[in-house]
A and B are shown apart, each in its own frame.
Chain A
């Protein structure tokens, strides 16, 4: 009994493992937003203060006409007004993010009020979580419309990150089409944060641009490529020596080169590589897990539920579609069966069988009361006989034999 109670106890803190991105992501966004504010204030300060000083000095030494002074002041005012507008729009954005965070915190908070895993409320909560996981998976796989629809139907739009993923997906698609513009724009927006990243997304994108220029075989393009390389690809000549050398080599080799290094640089697979790299960098920056949360939950869950019987060659007599008193095991159900095939099964240290287990002459083990109940409900069995619900064989009640399973 004690074991049963501990098994349904809900420990909300450790239960939140899957929900980290739920709070982390909006926080990351808010911080980014805030940094933009800081940066633009800093930029205006660096412009206005020296400009003001200069204007004062100029007017003191009479090198400026009054009109010039006025013009300088006007320029400062309009820049400050620009700053104000920018800050206002960022504040709007921030409000949205914070209300969203608030709702998410409340959602997690409800879990603390649920006493046990057997509670109906936990069931509801867990269903919402599954919907969240599904939306997350759909967004990551690029099924944006389904994700939007599901989020809307289930009214969980505040609990999922449609915007972030849709934007990410847009860049991915542009990369797949062979366009670097949107990805580079994203790099520009996140320049500061990208410096810490170990992946050199921007370098790879610039390199791709270079490759495309070289690919054309057009001489003027090649010249352009060289200046492009000077501008973007030789920023860290020390750490990227190999790459830079290769870049130079590309000018000589043609597309149908068989030299492995250059062949792979010209390969269209590089676009796939770039889009993967982008996703990786993007998720890292927003502290999103690289793998859909659904995968994490499922791989743990499949193993926890799986028994050796789920993929046994013999039909299990304890749980199958043929007997009514138990429901079909989720792992045996067609949806998950194949998926679980390569998963390890759960570890058990104790047998778990019905207490009144009996064995039929064909070796099938059932709970006695359950078997009698089933046989009673099956119209075609005479009294005094039992029907094996798995095989359909009919035996005399006397043939049931007690079996001892420890």
Chain B
């Protein structure tokens, strides 16, 4: 990369210093001069023109020399690029499964734009997709009308207006929360979805209300430094709102109330961390986003972003694999599984993974993990192979059991 930068610097400098245009101008001057001289004294024409031959020629040579030098700079930069990307061609595109599923990609992009809050781009994008579909449909309507119908149906399915509205709401709430420090829309949303949130074991509503309490306590943003906030308003809020939380969040509510006793000097109290948490707003905003997306069945971070990033991380390994396989002319043995392990950062692991310790294969629906009575887990196929239908010893402990006592587990 350094080399590329250096070569590019040189190229740019060279281009700046290039005398090409200046030389052209001097050629023009030469010609102009001769013309003027001839115009003045037509008798000198032959001599003037004869004298002109060499200077014009050499001025052209100058231009060419200058160009040649630039040309070699260009070549050097090309070489530095080649070097940077050497051994790293883009993967070959023998079977590009994705291009057959263009509409699914478009759908994913539209969803991505919506969830990133790029509503106007998303709107443009969707309308352009529809335009294209319409165009394709009219031009091919005669030949393959049934196929077309299916594709159009697919694209209309999602992202529907409903999803768009949902994300619109999400961004409104987030905006209020982050920019205006207004928690009320978020609280209202969490009330409306209380049941679903509770089923998830989410305490979003309480977190929001607690922050609201803290916010009331601090009063309008610390304008005058350490003014004691509006304790009264906070207490009033607690009285009306915390009733419902009492059974589940008794301890937390008690903490908040207890903190009130330290009112003027909360900073030095054991409760300081609750009241002076600088990242509280960001945390809550993040929490809210995650819950909101989860209720829609979506992951909190854009899947497209995660997948593309994971792809960039995985590519070097996959490319290496491709070269090796090409050299050895082998194919993958198991078609559904990548033949190499790709180490992604831990934050990219979303599922538990079960690899059978006997067969070293990943569990699938067809070959699920089975737990023997001793608590050890192996894949079903390994179980069958080890037991042959009879009592057998667990490969990991002295325990013996019958295969029919093994139970399927779900990770």
Contact between A352 and B349, CB atoms less than 8 A apart: yes
The answer to whether A70 and B39 touch across the interface, beta carbons within 8 angstroms, is yes
Q: Which residues of the other chain, B, contact A80 by a CB distance below 8 angstroms?
A: 24, 27-28, 31
Given the interface contacts A41-B64, A308-B363, A406-B357, does A20 sit within 8 Å of B88 by beta carbon?
Answer: yes
> Main secondary structure on chain A at its contact with chain B?
helix
Q: Tell me whether B270 is interfacial, beta carbon within 8 Å.
A: no
Cβ distance B185 to chain A, nearest Cβ, rounded Å: 21
Supposing A327-B301, A331-B303, A335-B111 touch, asked if A322 and B104 sit within 8 A by C-beta, the answer is: no
- Report B59 CB to chain A, min CB distance, Å: 10
A15 to B107, CA, bound (A): 27
A375 touches B201 (CB 8 A): yes
B201 touches A378 (CB 8 A): yes
The stretch that binds A, out of B89-97, B223-231, B234-242, B384-392, is B89-97
Residues of B contacting A344 in the complex (Cβ-Cβ under 8 angstroms): 332, 335-338
| Separation of A25 and B104 alpha carbons in the complex (Å) | 28
Binds B, one of A1-9, A182-190, A197-205, A229-237: A1-9
Asked if A359 is an interface residue, CB under 8 A from chain B, the answer is yes
Interface status of A239 (Cβ within 8 A of chain B): no
Residues in A neighbouring B344, C-beta threshold 8 A:
7, 304-305
Choose the segment among B77-85, B173-181, B275-283, B323-331 that binds chain A (4+ C-beta atoms closer than 8 Å). Answer: B77-85
What is the count of residue pairs linking A and B with beta-carbon distances less than 8 angstroms?
Answer: 453
Are B108 and A336 touching (Cβ within 8 A)?
yes
Task: Check if B125 is an interface residue, CB within 8 A of chain A.
Answer: yes
Contacts of A101 in B (CB 8 A): 8
Cβ–Cβ contact B57 & A49, under 8 A:
yes
Q: Is the CB of B15 within 8 A of A94?
A: yes
Q: Closest chain A residue to B18 by CB distance?
A: A91
Q: Which of B66-74, B214-222, B258-266 contacts A (4 or more CB under 8 A)?
A: B66-74
Smallest distance from the beta carbon of B140 to chain A beta carbons, Å? 10
Q: Is B407 an interface residue (CB 8 A)?
A: yes
A334 to nearest B CB, angstroms?
6
Minimum distance in angstroms from A125 CB to a CB of chain B: 10
Chain B 310-345 near chain A by CB (<8 Å), digits 1 or 0? 111111101100000000000010011111111111
Q: B308 contacts A49, CB within 8 Å?
A: no
B108 touching A73, Cβ below 8 Å: no
Q: Tell me the complex Cα distance, A375–B200, Å.
A: 9
Distance in Å from the Cβ of A357 to the closest Cβ of chain B? 8
A350, chain B: closest CB distance, angstroms: 6
- One digit per residue, 1 when the CB lies within 8 angstroms of any chain A CB and 0 when it does not, for chain B 85-124 equals 1001011010011110110111111011100001011001
A-B contact pairs, 5 of them (CB 8 A): A4-B346, A41-B24, A305-B310, A347-B338, A365-B352
